[in-house]
Structure 1
Amino acid sequence: MEKGAISVSRAELGDVADLLAILNGATQYKVERGDMAWGSEARSEQRVRDAMAESQMYIVRQDGRSVGTTCLQWDDEHYWGKQQPIAGYIHGLAVESSVHGQGIGAMVIEWALHQTFLQGRQFLRLDCSARNAGLCRYYERQGFIQVGQRVLQSGYIAALYQCEASHC
């Protein structure tokens, strides 16, 4: 995706340091607001490398500078259970705090909706902490509708959201 000075591309090994900084900054931001969905520990370089190998991890750049990341997957049994291939699943959407409020998260969601549509899938889905009212409202403002919740063994309650991919 190119939108002015914003681009989204598949993350490569050379992006690991930037991904670590973005994800660890986002984790700290969430923890400071009482959202423990990502835990409180900093990610290791190996954990980011593993995530890159296991899923489609993307890096978001503004004027060539790394400012965000997300993963786009084509299944998510952990939160959604076994499903027909009707959705894309976005995880780990994170934007560097210095660019909060610039609409970059919304642009990444728009990009993911378009990718999902191109794959012939009907919905883009995501999960977030049901206890993070601000984040839930953010996704609702982006056009997502809460369609359920999933309680994990740890006690974590995930709010499950989806949006029509034709929304793009």
Structure 2
Amino acid sequence: MIEAAQYVLGLGRVSAVDDVLLNTLGGAVAAVVGVHLLAPRVRGAAQPGTRRGRLPSLPGPTHPGGVNPDADLLLRRGRLDDVNSLAPMSGSADRALARLRAAGTGDETLLVAEHDGRVVAAVSVRWHHDCDPPHPWLYGLHVSAAVRRHGFGTLLLGAAETVASLRGVEAMSLDVDRGETGLVAFYERRGYAKVGPHEHHWRSVSSATGDVVAEGTADTWIMRHRLGSD
């Protein structure tokens, strides 16, 4: 139930306990946002029974969970037509739309991972006016259940840090519920360190009426990572 697994949309926040139970994807973060990671290509004459230009599929066991390891993987910015895919990752279509609108104004950046033609993971960065100024705030990291434990969370985390670094940002912050020791450890392994306790005040606001529909507080740790330090 971390800030990266708690969705803060404008003034809203909802919790998801298991959004970041992920393993690392090695050094895959070096992929540039918005560039296809295509299956390898070969040159020369096509072999019998294969199509020119793509390596033939090798026989072998089905990948656990039915995830296609040969499918295209794309990291890109979120778009308005992603709203239906982002709704279950954000808690509702209204919250997904709020994230997209904030990204559209430039107040935030919303990154998504698209695998096999489907949006399967997302993360947002709020650039100003959050809980650890002047550092930008990472939140809303969510990976679809079908592709968890394949490193998509780590991939998007690294991509968000790369975008921040390109903007000249020196450090990135987020918060983690104090009782979530496993998630604290997850971020510590990725270079984040606790910088102090925090009482996070949150409100969920209806996009239709502007009314506050829920509010509360959460005891968290603010964690910060100095970019380029690892």
Aligned residues: 144
2:225 alignment counterpart: 163
2:73 alignment counterpart: 6
Runs of 4 or more off by more than 4 Å in structure 1? none
SS of alignment partner, residue 120 of structure 1: coil
CA contact (8 A) 1:146 1:161 kept: yes
CA contact (8 A) 1:147 1:161 kept: yes
| Aligned equivalents of 1:155, 1:71: Cα separation in 2 | 21
| Aligned equivalents of 1:167, 1:15: Cα separation in 2 | 33
Higher Rg of the two aligned structures: 2
1:69 alignment counterpart: 122
2:97 alignment counterpart: 49
Unaligned runs of at least 5 residues, structure 2: 1-32, 38-71, 103-107, 202-215
2:185 equivalent among 134, 137, 147: 137
2:86 alignment counterpart: 19
**Alignment of structure 1 residues 100-115 onto 2, 5 Å:** 100-115=148-163
| Aligned equivalents of 1:52, 1:151: Cα separation in 2 | 26
SS of alignment partner, residue 158 of structure 2: helix
| Aligned equivalents of 1:152, 1:14: Cα separation in 2 | 31
Deviation at residue 3 of structure 1 after TM alignment? 7.1
> Which structure exhibits the higher relative contact order, with contacts defined as CA atoms closer than 8 Å and separated by 6 or more residues?
2
| Aligned equivalents of 2:112, 2:226: Cα separation in 1 | 24
| Aligned equivalents of 2:73, 2:229: Cα separation in 1 | 20
| Aligned equivalents of 1:142, 1:162: Cα separation in 2 | 10
CA contact (8 A) 2:87 2:95 kept: no
TM-score normalized by the length of structure 1: 0.76
CA contact (8 A) 2:175 2:221 kept: yes
Please provide the CA RMSD for this pair.
2.0
CA contact (8 A) 1:17 1:45 kept: yes
SS of alignment partner, residue 228 of structure 2: helix
Unaligned runs of at least 5 residues, structure 1: 24-42
1:38 alignment counterpart: none
CA contact (8 A) 1:113 1:167 kept: no
CA contact (8 A) 2:127 2:136 kept: yes
Shift in CA distance, 135/112, structure 1 to aligned 2, threshold 3 Å: same
Shift in CA distance, 155/53, structure 1 to aligned 2, threshold 3 Å: closer
| Aligned equivalents of 1:113, 1:59: Cα separation in 2 | 14
2:139 equivalent among 91, 98, 115: 91
1:148 equivalent among 185, 192, 196: 196
1:36 alignment counterpart: none
How many percent of aligned residue pairs carry the same amino acid? 22
| Aligned equivalents of 1:11, 1:59: Cα separation in 2 | 6
Shift in CA distance, 163/101, structure 1 to aligned 2, threshold 3 Å: same
